[in-house]
Amino acid sequence: MSEPRQLMLNDHSSGDITLRDLVAPLFRHKRTVITTFLLAVLLTIAAAVKLSGSYETHLEVLVNRERLDPVMSTESQTQLPGGALSAVTPEEINSEGELLKSGDVLEKVVLQNGLQKREQQSLWAHLHPEATETQYVSRAVKHLGTQLTIEPLVKTNLISVSYKSADPQIAYGVLNALATFYIDKHVAVHRPTGAYDFFAKEADKYRNALADSEARLASFDKERGATTPGVEQTDMALVVANSASSLEQVEQTAAADEQRIAADNDQMKVTPERSPTQQASNAATMLLQQLESSLLAAQVKRTQLLLKFEPSYPLVQEADQEIAATQAAILEAQKTQYVNETTDRDPTFELLREDLAKAKSDLAAQRAGIASLKRSIQTQHLQMVALDQEAIQQEDLIRDKKANEDNYNLYLYKSEQELTADALDRKRIGNVAIAVPPTIPVLPAYSPLLILGAGFAAAFALSLGAGYTAEYLNSSLCTPAQVTELLGIPVVIAIPRQAASTNGGHRLIETR
C-alpha cells in the first residue's frame, strides 16, 4: 500500500480501540521511542547543567516628575516647562529605556566589568588574532545589548532591567554599573552642560562693570561737589526766574521814570522859574491872583495826571485846555492893569526841577540795573546749559550703574539657580530613580530539579510522539486483522517475526 494508516487493530479487535492497540505501535517502534527519549533526556541534563550555572539579577527604574528644572534663559522671571505637572507619558518611559541601552552607557559598563576580556577568549578572537582592543569592546557592547532585557512594566512608570551571567558577581556588577552610568547619562541629557560656568562668568563681568560704574559716578560727584546737577539746575532755574522778574520790574520802573522826566520837562516849560512874592494892584490884582491860583492848580493837576497817563489822555488834554484858558485870561487881565510886584524863585518850578533831577538819577540807576540783570541772566542761562550737560552725564552714569547692577543681580541669581541644579545633579536627584537596586543573586536563575522534571516530561511526550509518528509513516501490514480489513482475504495462519525484527510483533504480508 502507498497510503499510511492512522488506525491499527490487533487480532482480537472487533472494531473497538483498546489499550493494547494504543501501546502496540510503541512496542513496534520501541527503538525509535527509546532513542528519542534518551536524546531528550541528555538534552535536558545538558540544559539543566547549563542553566543551573546561570544567575540573573534585576533592577527597576522609576520615571517620575519630582524635579522641575527651569528653562535656561537670561530672563529675570523663572519659567517652568509647559506641562510640568502632567503625567509621565509612554514616550518618556520609552526614551529612558533607550538611554539605558545607549552605546556610551554600555561601553562604560563593559570597561568597568572587563567584559571585553571574554571576547578575547571566544572563537571569534581565535579566528581574528589581529583584532584590537576597540573591536573587543565593540563586540562586548553588542553582546551586552542583546543580553540585557529592558521592558516597561504594564500600567506603571517602572522599567524592568534584567541580566544573566554565569558569575553572580558579574551579573550584579553589570547592573550596578548600568544604574550608575544611566543616572549620569539622564542628568547629562536632560540638563544643558556649562550653564553654571556661563552665568558665573557673566556675573563676574557685570560685577566688574558695576564696580567701574560706581567708581566713575563717585569721581564725577567728587569733581562737582556734593550737590547733584539736577538739584543745582532746579535752583538755578528759580534764580533765573527771579532775575527775569526783577528785570521786568526794573524795566517798568525805568519806563515810568522816563515818562516822569518827560512830564517834568513839559511842566517846567510852562512853569516860570520865578514867581512874584509881593504885589500891589487894584481890583484887577485880585482877579489875577485868582487866575494864577487856578492856573497853578490846573498845572499841578496836569502834572499829577502825567504821572499816570499819556499826554493824549482826555483828562490831560482837558487840563491843558484849562491851563491855556486860564493863561489867556491872565494875559487879558494883565493888559488891563498895572502891577508892582516883587518876584522870587517859584516853588513849583523848583519842585519840578528837583523831581526831574531825581528822576534822571533813578533812570540812570535803573538802566545800569537792567544791563546788570541782563548780563546776570545770560550767565545763568550758560550755567543752566552746563548743568544740563552735567545732569545728562550723571544720568548716563546712574543709568549705566543701574543696568550693570540689574544684570549682575540677574546673572548672580541665575548662577545660584544653576549651582543648585548642579548640586542636585551631584546628589543624583533627578526625574528617574532606581526603585529596585540590583542585588547579588544567590540562587541560579532556574532550578535544576524543575528543569529535569520538565525535561523528563518533555522527553516522555517527545518519545511518544516519535513512536506514533513512525507508526503513522510506516506502510506495512502488521496484524492479521489489518490484512483481513484492507485486503478482504482471510488469514489461515500467522507466523510471528523474530524478536530481532525491526518493527516487532507479527507480520504476515508487507506491501510496498
Q: Tell me how far apart the alpha carbons of residues 100 and 161 are, in angstroms, rounded to a whole number.
A: 9
What is residue 506's DSSP assignment?
Answer: B
| Cβ partners under 8 Å of residue 256, min gap 6 | none
Tell me how far CA of residue 164 lies from CA of 58, 174, 206, in angstroms.
9, 10, 56
Instruction: For residue range 340-369, list pLDDT tens digits in order.
Output: 566 677 788 888 888 888 888 888 888 888
Contact 265, 328 (CB under 8 A): no
Each domain of the chain, given as residue ranges in start order, spans: 54-194+423-436, 243-404
470-500: b (≥16 Cβ within 10 Å) or e? bbeebebbbbbbbbbeeeeeeeeeeeeeeee
Contact 334, 268 (CB under 8 A): no
Tell me how far CA of residue 289 lies from CA of 271, 302, 329, 431, in angstroms.
16, 20, 11, 125
Which three three-digit cell numbers place residue 507? 507480520
Report, as an integer, the average pLDDT of 483-509.
57
Instruction: For residue range 159-207, list pLDDT tens digits in order.
Output: 888 888 777 888 888 888 888 888 778 777 766 666 667 777 888 888 8
User: Which of 48 and 140 is assigned the larger pLDDT?
Assistant: 140
SS3 336: coil
- Phi/psi of residue 428, nearest 5 degrees: 60, 40
CATH number for the region 54-194+423-436 comes to: 3.30.1890
Contact 60, 435 (CB under 8 A): yes
Q: How many residues does the chain have?
A: 512
Tell me how far CA of residue 327 lies from CA of 196, 321, 348, in angstroms.
109, 10, 16
Q: Tell me how far apart the alpha carbons of residues 319 and 296 are, in angstroms, rounded to a whole number.
A: 11
Residue type, 441: P
pTM of the predicted protein model: 0.42
Instruction: For residue range 211-223, list pLDDT tens digits in order.
Output: 888 888 788 777 7
**Torsion on CA atoms 250, 252, 254, 260, rounded to nearest 10:** -150
User: Which of 445 and 133 is assigned the larger pLDDT?
Assistant: 133
Instruction: For residue range 231-254, list pLDDT tens digits in order.
Output: 777 877 888 888 888 888 888 888
